[in-house]
Structure 1
């Protein structure tokens, strides 16, 4: 009885650790994507600026 309870706890812990790890990985990926997008937007804005100043 006690051994089975330990097994359940072990499985639950393993599952929780996997879930937390995958969640953290997903968050890191999202953060990296956001940084790439922000950097890309800055470059686009930087390229657009001279065009706007020329047309003004």
Structure 2
């Protein structure tokens, strides 16, 4: 009975670790996408500022 319970716990832990890992990966991907967008937006804002100052 204990061996069966241990097996269930081990399987659950494996599932949990996989889920946490994939969640963290998804979060990292979203963060990276946001950083790319922010960097792009900063470049565009800087470009617009330079254009407005020269006009």
SS at match of 1:48: helix
**What corresponds to 2:7 in structure 1?**
7
Distance in 1 between the 2:29 and 2:20 partners?
Answer: 14
| Paired positions, count | 54
Aligned-residue CA RMSD (Å): 2.2
SS of alignment partner, residue 24 of structure 2 = helix
State the distance in 1 between where 2:18 and 2:3 align.
Answer: 23
Which runs of 5 or more structure 1 residues have no equivalent in the other structure?
Answer: none
Distance 1:43 1:54, change over 3 A: closer
Shift of residue 55, structure 1, vs aligned partner = 8.5
TM-score (norm 1): 0.77
Task: Tell me by how many angstroms 1:44 deviates.
Answer: 5.5
What CA deviation, in whole Å up to 9, does each residue of 1:10-50 have, x standing for no partner? Answer: 0000000001000000000000000001111133552564x
